[in-house]
Amino acid sequence: MAAASPRDPAEGIVTFEDIAVSFSWEEWDLLDEAQRHLYQDVMLENLALITSLAFYFQ
Burial 4-35 (b: 16+ CB within 10 A, else e): eeeeeeeeeeeeeeeeeeeeeeeeeeeeeeee
Q: How many domains does the chain have?
A: 1
Write out pLDDT tens, residues 28-40.
Answer: 999 999 999 999 9
pLDDT in tens, 39-51: 999 989 988 888 8
* Greater model confidence, 16 or 41: 41
**Residue 42: inside a domain, yes or no?**
yes
Exposure on the CB side of residue 13, measured as CA atoms within 13 A: 7
Q: Would residue 6 count as lying in a domain? A: no
- Report if residue 7 sits inside a domain: no
What is the pTM (predicted TM-score) of this model?
0.64
Would residue 34 count as lying in a domain? yes
List the domain range (segments joined by +) for residue 41. Answer: 12-56
Q: Is residue 1 part of a domain?
A: no
